[in-house]
C-alpha cells in the first residue's frame, strides 16, 4: 500500500504544479503537429528548417515564443512543440498544416512479462497475494549485485521475525549491503576450492557478490522492486518489476565463473541447506546437474528436504531442447518449468531504394545507429557468398556496405562474424531460425527478415542498378503474435529418471526477459567492445523458473497453509494451452502445435491459480512410496528421505499428480492403465464437479465416478480414470510422443475449471 500512496502523492504534486503554472502563464500546451512535406518552399534545405522558421514567425500578445521539441523523421511528417492558444490559431492557417494533436501521457509499461501474465495492481493475484508481502524467496544462483535499483527496500516494513538468515561479508561485499528487500546473502565455494578451482577477482568474487549477473537477473525477475525507465540499450523501456515485488529475497551463491563455470554439488547442497535453516518459504534454482538417480542429484536431494519443511521448490527444466527426454530437475517433488516467449519483440525498419520497399525485421542491435542510403551487397550467383560462409566475402566488395545473406543452417554466429571480418557495415539475413532471438548474435548492425521478405529483398537487389538501404533500429514491438510459443531450447519431457510423471510441469516466460544485471560484466558486445549495462535481456529456462517462483510466492502469501504440491497443482490445473491468437501454443522449433511434453499442463496463469477450486495434493510419504515403486534400494531411499525406518508395503508409481502420462511399448498393440486420484476442495463452500474428457486420438478414457461432490473446504473425493490405447490407431507424432487430450472437472453451477493433460509417450 505504501507504493500506491507514493503514486497518489506524486499525482497530487503534479496537479499542484500544473495549477501553479497556469496561474502564472498563459495556457501553454505540448502538441504534435502533422505537416504536408510536399508543400515545403524551395528556399528551405530541410523540413526541420522549415518548421523552425514557422515557429519563429509566430507571436502572442504576452510575448511568449513557441518552443520546439522534436522534429520527426520516420514516425510521422511533422514536429512537436510547446504552443499557446494564439500560436495554435496562427499555425492552423499556415501552408502545409495538416493536423494537430495534444500530447498524451501513457501508463507505465513493465518489463512486459508481469503484464503478459495478467498481473494488475488493482485486481487479481497481485492484490489478492498482497504482492508477495513478507514471503521469503531463496535464490540459489551466482550471487547478487546488491546496489541494483531492483533491490531497494523503499516502502517495505521490518524483516519478518521468523527470518534466521544473515548477510555475509566477503570480497567487495559488506553485510551492510542487505536491507529490508535483500534480507540475506551467503556464498558457498569450499567444494570448488577443494577441486583446485581458484575463485578470486577478476575472475569472480569469493563472496555473495554476483560477478556474472545471472543470479541478479533471476532474483530481480522473481521479486525485484519497481524500477522506472529500465531498458536494454533503448529496447524494452519501461518499469522493471518482479513477479512478487513485495517479497523478500535471500541470495545463496553456489555458481562461480571459473574453468568450468559450474557449481560443486557440495556447494549447492550447502546453499540449499542453509536456505532451509534460514527460513525461506520458496526456492528457485536455475541450474541443473547431470541426470542421475535422485539420490545422486544434489538438487533432488535438497529439494526433498525443502518440501518436507513446506518450502516450494521451482527449478529450470534445462536448455537442451527440442529433442525429447532432455529434461533436467524432473524429480516429482520439484516444480519443473519450461520456457516460453512473451508478446514483446524487438525490431528494425528497413527501407530499400529510398522508399520502394519497407520491411520490418527482428533486431536487438544495441546502438541507435544511423544507416541511411548505404549500398547493399548480395553475392548473387555465388552460393557461398549468398550464405556468407567463412571467408566467402571479399573485403574489397563489401567494405562499408550492408550485406544481404541467406541463413546457413550451420551458420548464425559464423555468418555474422564473417560479415564483420570482411569489414561490411552490417548485415540483413533472411531466416526463420529461432536462434536469432538472442541479443548476443547482434554484435554488428544486423536485421533478420523472414524468408518471404528475404525474397523481396533479393528481387529488389537484382533489379536495381544501385541498391541502397536505410535502417532504423531500437524498435520495441508490443502485442506480438503468436505468444506464447515454446522456446526451441526448452528441454522436453519425459524425464529419464521418472518418465511416468509428466514433465515439465508448466511453461513460463523465458525468452528475452529484461531484468537487473551486474554492471561490470559485459555480455553484450559490438565488435570488440563490451557494453556494460544495469539491465539486460536474457533467455533460458533460467528465466522461467523465477517467474514461476514469483507466482508461487503470491499464492503462498494468499494461502499460507497450502503445501508445495497444492501450489504446483494450482499452477498446473489453471494453466492455459491457447496463445493470443486463440490457437494452440506453437513449438518454435517445428512451427506447429506443441504438446504437453513441451509445455506440461500449459502456460502459467497467476490470476486463475489464485482460486483453482480443487487441488491434487501429495504427502511426503507418497513420494517415498513412489521411490519404492521405482525399485529404489533402502539405501537410496534413506539418502533422499533421511529416514532410517520406512517400509515399501505401499509402493506406488501412481502419484496423486495433476497430469497423466501412459508409457507405451512398441511391442504391444493395446495397453490399458488405471489412474487413481484424490481431489481436495480449497473453496469455503460445498461444491459439485462433473468430469469431461477430450479424448486423445486412439484412446478411450473412462472416469468413475463422473461426478464428485464436496461438503466444504478441504473435503476430498476420489476417482479412477482408465485409459485404453490401441496403438494401431494411436500413431506417434514423433519418435517419443503419441497423442494427448485433457480431463476437465467443471464446477456445477459454479465457475471453477480444473484441467489436466492426458498424454501417451513411447518409452526409450
Assess contact for 57 and 65: CB atoms under 8 A. Answer: no
Residue 690, φ and ψ in degrees, nearest 5: -120, 135
- 3-state secondary structure string, 475-521? EEEECCCCCCEECCCCCCCCCCCCCCCCCCCEEEECCCEEEECCCCC
Joined together, the cell numbers standing for residue 186 give 551467503
Write down the catalytic residue from 47, 77, 148, 214: 214
- Quote the cell numbers at residue 554: 503470491
From the candidates 207, 488, 542, 756, give the one annotated as an active-site residue: 542
Alpha helices in 92-159 (DSSP H): 113-116, 125-128
- Concerning whether 372 is annotated as a catalytic residue, the answer is no
Pairing of strands 468-478, 344-352: antiparallel
Best CA proximity match to 516, nearest among 156, 727, 220: 220
H or E stretch covering 76: none
Burial class (CB in 10 A: 0-12, 13-18, 19+), 427: buried
Indicate the pairing of strand 506-509 with strand 344-352: unpaired
515 C-beta neighbours (distance < 10 Å), count: 29
The Cα-based distances of 91 to 34, 205, 466, 692 in angstroms read 11, 61, 40, 66
In 3D, which of 223, 199, 205, 216 has the Cα closest to residue 147?
Answer: 216
Is position 87 annotated as part of the catalytic site?
Answer: no
Question: What's 226's DSSP letter?
Answer: P
Peptide bond into 698 cis (omega under 30): no
Q: How many CA atoms lie within 13 A of 10 on its CB side?
A: 6
Catalytic residue check, 207? no
Cα dihedral sign, 76-80-83-87: negative
CB contact at 8 A, 167 and 185:
yes
Cα(272)–Cα(278) distance, integer angstroms: 10
Computed on alpha carbons and rounded to an integer, the radius of gyration of the chain in Å comes to 29
Q: What sign results for the dihedral spanned by CA atoms 143, 145, 149, 153?
A: positive
- Per annotation, catalytic residue among 77, 134, 141, 281: 141
β-pair partners for 689 = 708, 747
* Residues known to be catalytic: 141, 214, 542
Amino acid at each position: 500500500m505504501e507504493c500506491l500512496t507514493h503514486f497518489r502523492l506524486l499525482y497530487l504534486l503534479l496537479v499542484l504544479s500544473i495549477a501553479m503554472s497556469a496561474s502564472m502563464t498563459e495556457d501553454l500546451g505540448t502538441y504534435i503537429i502533422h505537416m504536408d512535406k510536399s508543400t515545403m518552399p524551395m528556399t528551405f534545405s530541410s523540413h526541420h528548417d522549415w518548421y523552425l522558421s514557422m515557429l519563429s514567425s509566430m507571436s502572442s500578445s504576452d510575448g511568449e515564443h513557441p518552443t520546439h521539441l522534436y522534429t520527426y523523421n520516420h514516425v510521422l511528417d511533422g514536429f512537436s512543440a510547446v504552443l499557446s492558444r494564439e500560436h495554435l490559431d496562427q499555425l492552423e492557417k499556415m501552408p502545409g498544416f495538416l493536423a494537430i494533436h495534444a500530447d498524451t501521457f501513457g501508463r507505465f509499461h513493465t518489463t512486459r512479462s508481469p503484464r503478459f501474465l495478467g498481473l494488475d495492481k488493482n485486481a487479481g493475484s497481485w492484490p489478492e497475494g498482497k504482492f508477495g508481502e513478507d514471503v521469503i524467496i531463496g535464490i540459489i544462483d551466482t550471487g547478487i549485485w546488491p546496489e541494483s535499483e531492483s533491490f531497494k527496500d523503499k516502502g517495505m516494513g521490518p524483516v519478518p521475525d521468523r527470518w534466521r538468515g544473515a548477510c555475509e561479508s566477503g570480497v567487495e561485499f559488506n553485510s551492510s549491503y542487505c536491507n529490508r528487500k535483500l534480507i540475506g546473502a551467503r556464498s558457498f565455494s569450499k567444494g570448488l576450492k577443494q577441486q583446485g578451482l581458484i575463485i578470486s577477482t577478476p575472475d569472480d568474487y569469493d563472496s555473495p557478490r554476483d560477478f556474472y549477473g545471472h543470479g541478479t537477473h533471476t532474483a530481480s525477475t522473481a521479486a525485484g522492486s519497481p524500477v522506472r525507465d529500465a531498458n536494454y540499450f533503448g529496447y524494452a523501456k519501461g518499469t522493471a518489476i518482479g513477479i512478487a515485488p513485495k517479497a523478500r529475497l535471500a541470495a545463496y551463491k553456489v555458481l562461480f565463473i571459473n574453468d568450468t563455470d559450474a557449481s560443486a554439488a557440495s556447494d549447492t547442497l550447502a546453499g540449499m541447506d542453509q536456505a532451509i535453516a534460514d527460513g525461506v518459504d520458496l526456492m528457485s534454482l536455475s541450474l541443473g546437474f547431470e541426470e542421475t538417480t535422485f539420490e545422486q542429484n544434489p538438487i533432488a536431494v535438497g529439494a526433498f528436504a525443502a518440501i518436507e519443511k513446506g518450502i516450494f521448490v521451482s527449478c529450470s527444466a534445462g536448455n537442451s531442447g527440442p529433442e525429447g527426454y532432455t529434461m533436467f530437475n524432473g524429480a516429482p517433488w520439484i516444480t519443473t518449468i519450461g520456457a516460453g516467449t512473451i508478446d514483446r519483440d524487438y525490431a528494425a525498419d528497413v527501407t530499400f531504394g529510398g522508399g520502394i520497399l519497407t520491411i520490418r525485421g527482428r533486431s536487438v542491435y544495441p546502438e541507435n545507429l544511423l544507416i541511411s542510403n548505404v549500398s547493399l551487397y548480395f553475392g548473387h550467383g555465388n552460393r557461398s557468398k549468398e550464405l556468407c560462409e567463412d571467408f566467402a566475402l571479399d573485403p574489397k566488395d563489401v567494405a562499408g556496405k550492408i550485406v544481404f545473406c541467406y541463413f546457413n543452417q550451420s551458420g548464425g554466429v559464423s555468418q555474422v562474424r564473417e560479415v564483420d571480418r570482411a569489414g561490411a557495415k552490417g548485415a540483413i539475413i533472411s531466416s526463420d531460425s529461432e536462434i536469432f532471438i538472442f541479443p548476443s548474435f547482434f554484435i554488428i548492425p544486423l536485421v533478420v527478415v523472414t524468408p518471404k521478405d528475404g525474397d523481396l529483398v533479393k528481387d529488389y537487389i537484382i533489379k536495381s542498378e544501385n541498391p541502397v538501404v536505410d535502417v532504423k533500429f531500437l524498435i520495441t514491438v508490443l502485442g506480438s503474435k503468436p505468444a506464447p510459443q515454446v522456446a526451441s531450447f526448452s528441454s522436453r519431457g519425459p524425464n529419464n529418471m521418472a518418465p511416468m510423471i509428466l514433465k515439465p510441469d508448466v511453461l513460463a516466460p523465458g525468452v528475452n526477459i529484461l531484468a537487473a544485471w551486474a554492471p561490470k560484466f559485459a555480455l553484450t558486445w559490438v565488435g570488440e567492445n563490451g557494453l556494460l549495462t544495469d539491465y539486460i535481456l536474457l533467455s533460458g529456462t533460467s528465466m522461467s523458473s523465477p517467474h514461476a517462483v514469483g507466482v508461487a510466492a503470491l499464492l503462498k502469501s494468499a494461502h499460507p497453509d497450502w503445501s508445495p504440491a497444492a501450489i504446483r497443482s494450482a499452477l498446473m490445473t489453471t494453466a492455459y494451452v491457447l496463445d493470443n491468437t486463440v490457437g494452440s501454443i506453437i513449438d518454435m522449433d517445428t512451427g506447429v502445435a506443441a504438446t504437453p511434453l513441451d509445455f506440461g499442463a500449459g502456460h502459467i496463469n497467476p490470476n486463475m491459480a489464485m482460486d483453482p477450486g480443487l487441488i491434487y495434493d501429495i504427502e511426503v510419504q507418497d513420494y517415498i512410496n513412489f521411490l519404492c515403486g521405482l525399485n529404489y534400494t533402502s539405501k537410496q531411499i534413506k539418502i533422499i528421505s533421511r529416514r532410517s525406518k520406512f517400509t515399501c508395503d505401499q509402493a506406488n508409481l501412481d502419484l496423486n499428480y495433476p497430469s497423466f502420462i501412459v508409457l507405451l511399448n512398441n511391442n504391444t498393440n493395446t495397453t490399458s492403465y488405471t489412474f487413481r486420484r484424490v481431489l481436495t476442495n480449497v473453496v469455503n463452500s460445498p461444491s459439485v464437479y462433473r468430469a469431461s474428457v477430450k479424448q486423445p486420438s486412439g484412446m478411450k478414457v473412462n472416469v468413475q465416478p463422473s461426478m464428485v461432490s464436496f461438503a466444504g473446504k478441504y473435503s476430498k473425493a476420489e476417482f479412477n480414470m482408465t485409459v485404453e490405447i490401441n496403438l494401431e490407431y494411436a500413431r506417434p507424432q514423433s519418435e517419443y510422443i503419441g497423442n494427448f487430450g485433457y480431463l476437465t472437472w467443471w464446477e456445477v453451477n459454479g465457475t471453477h475449471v480444473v484441467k489436466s493433460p492426458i498424454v501417451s509417450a513411447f518409452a526409450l
